Structure 1
Amino acid sequence: MDQTYESKYHDLEATHPWFLGRRHMIIRLLRGTDRNQKILEIGCSAGYLLEILKKYGFQNLFGIDISREAVELCRKKGIDQVFQMDAADPKFSNNEFDLIIASDILEHMPDDVAAMKKWYKILKPGGKLIVFTPAFNFLWTEHDEINHHFSRYTKKKLSEIFRVTGFATLRISYWNFILFFPTVVIRFFHRVLVKKRHKTHDHLYRMNSLARVLFLGLLQFENLLLEFINFPIGVSVFGVVKK
């Protein structure tokens, strides 16, 4: 990842509604989880989720990221069990973790099945994996290319990967449903404009306070709805599976 882009990414992780909304959803998925479980976040970035989990009383927390800058940012937050490591081949013992979280990591794997098999091995029997990943290849833009993505996913494709790697699916749903149709329209016109300008750039935009509040409010409302339903479409897709 480009150094300038990475610094911008880490900066926006703290306040951008999309990151805040996803962390809010993950915390909801973890309700009822034993605080003593050994948890690994694959691709922990600057450690914002691990920091929140620590505040919620989870103490046995580990993280890995391929970026040295990300690892250093985590350690500055007092999250010590964070290591520079490739998500495609995490160097841990078999059957080591009770829970693994991988938020927007699978799409970075050249061989997603091989990577998930590695994750399966380091989970304890009965352990759970939570995966978030971008949805639908027709939403592909230069933002995916800048982020070195190999694919976007559908529920069917993600379910099949879970199946062939040995996981039992507990739940799978799309996420960011409310903003799906605006995103489709915006990305269509953006794609046309980019082709005309012959230039690429990321989609990490700063928002004013009102826009942030509205965007985050919509995502948190959707997270509440996900208590009762699964969405048929969305900008992202997530799965909760068990070894």
Structure 2
Amino acid sequence: MLIFLSLDVSGDMVDYSDMYRNGEYLRKNPTWDVGDSPWKAEQILQMLLEHNIRACTIGEVGCGAGEILVNLQSAMGGDCVFRGYDISPQAIELCKPKSNAKMHFFQRDLLQESDINLDVLLAIDVVEHVEDYLGFLRAIKDKATYKVFHVPLEFFALSTLHSEFLCKQRLNSGHLHYFTKDILLQIFGELGYDVLDARYTPGYLVSRGHGWKDDLLYMPRRIGFLLHKDLTVRIFGGYSLLVLAR
């Protein structure tokens, strides 16, 4: 079972998973980012195809509203079976109308499923939400042959200068951890993952409308990325890391 418990400043125990169970996350994020799902599914599918991975079973931990799996099924068709897991009852309610003979959703903790052996397991924008993310990464390692991770790179130069940015990500989006590319890849290596591919994804191009500061960074991010990818991401942010690992 994933542990989300911690102490707040008053000394009371805090369960960070409560926001996903009691509806708080849905209230703060009413769309559950479904608008980004077609784009994310496209990035995932492209990576799988480039590595000639033909999956018969694809699961997703923290599937949210299930739209990534829906888009993958639409693109892949065939006999692939999809299984989405989420601890949020609100998320699973959003998923239920999307179920079909080869698309199944479960309000369960995937880590408690001892008999899971998938071809591909997705953890898309999930790692940053899990308090014990190291334990989480260890636990899912043997749940599938291939794992696909998508993690926002929110620890960049401007985010450390903007005093409210990371706090807002924690309060509104439930992000408990902030990563760089180098830190993520080091963690995967330390945990015994074999990283087959790691690439930046420009989320800022998809999720527009976050205010004038985000608009101001649009051109520096886009032009800078053409000149020096790593340096641009470290300074201006706006990117996530898509990782394929065994």
Look up the match of 1:53.
72
Secondary structure at 2:96's aligned position in 1?
helix
State the AA in 2 paired with 1:106. Answer: V
Look up the match of 1:131.
149
Change (3 A) 1:145 1:175: same
1:28 deviates by: 1.7
- Contact kept? 1:43, 1:102, Cα under 8 Å: yes
Change (3 A) 1:118 1:5: closer
Question: Which 4+ residue blocks in structure 1 deviate beyond 6 angstroms?
Answer: 182-185
1:19 deviates by: 3.9
State the AA in 1 paired with 2:59. Answer: L
Supply the distance in 2 between the matched residues of 1:231 and 1:133 (Cα, whole angstroms): 17
Change (3 A) 1:141 1:19: farther
Look up the match of 2:114.
92
Q: Which of the numbers 151, 155, 179 marks the counterpart of 2:177?
A: 151
Change (3 A) 1:81 1:178: closer
Q: Identity of aligned pairs, percent? A: 23
Q: Which of the numbers 65, 72, 79 marks the counterpart of 2:86?
A: 65
Change (3 A) 1:35 1:93: closer
Secondary structure at 1:140's aligned position in 2?
helix
2:241 counterpart of 1:238: yes
- Contact kept? 1:46, 1:74, Cα under 8 Å: yes
Change (3 A) 1:110 1:12: closer
Secondary structure at 1:133's aligned position in 2?
strand
Look up the match of 1:103.
124
**1:199-239 CA distances to partner (integer Å, 9 max, x unpaired)?**
xxxxxxxxxxxxxxxx9xx9xxx9xxx9xxx9422423324
* Residue pairs, 1:174-185, within 5 angstroms: 174-176=200-202
State the AA in 2 paired with 1:242. Answer: A
Look up the match of 2:3.
none
Supply the distance in 1 between the matched residues of 2:28 and 2:172 (Cα, whole angstroms): 13
- Contact kept? 1:175, 1:231, Cα under 8 Å: no
- Contact kept? 2:55, 2:119, Cα under 8 Å: no
Look up the match of 1:207.
none
Secondary structure at 2:175's aligned position in 1?
coil
Q: Which of the numbers 176, 180, 186 marks the counterpart of 1:160?
A: 186
1:158 deviates by: 0.7
Change (3 A) 1:13 1:152: same
State the AA in 2 paired with 1:122. Answer: K
TM-score, scaled relative to structure 1? 0.68
State the AA in 2 paired with 1:53. Answer: L
Change (3 A) 1:143 1:177: closer
Q: Which of the numbers 31, 44, 53 marks the counterpart of 1:11?
A: 31
2:213 counterpart of 1:186: yes
- Contact kept? 2:65, 2:91, Cα under 8 Å: yes
Supply the distance in 2 between the matched residues of 1:130 and 1:7 (Cα, whole angstroms): 28
Change (3 A) 1:13 1:84: same
- Contact kept? 1:172, 1:239, Cα under 8 Å: yes
Look up the match of 2:13.
none
Secondary structure at 1:11's aligned position in 2?
coil
Look up the match of 2:14.
none
- Contact kept? 1:103, 1:132, Cα under 8 Å: yes
- Contact kept? 1:174, 1:235, Cα under 8 Å: no
Change (3 A) 1:170 1:134: same
State the AA in 2 paired with 1:29. Answer: M
Supply the distance in 2 between the matched residues of 1:90 and 1:236 (Cα, whole angstroms): 32
TM-score, scaled relative to structure 2? 0.67
What RMSD in Å do the two structures reach over aligned CA positions?
Answer: 3.5
1:185 deviates by: 7.4
Change (3 A) 1:175 1:82: same
* Higher deviation after alignment, 25-34 or 157-166: 25-34
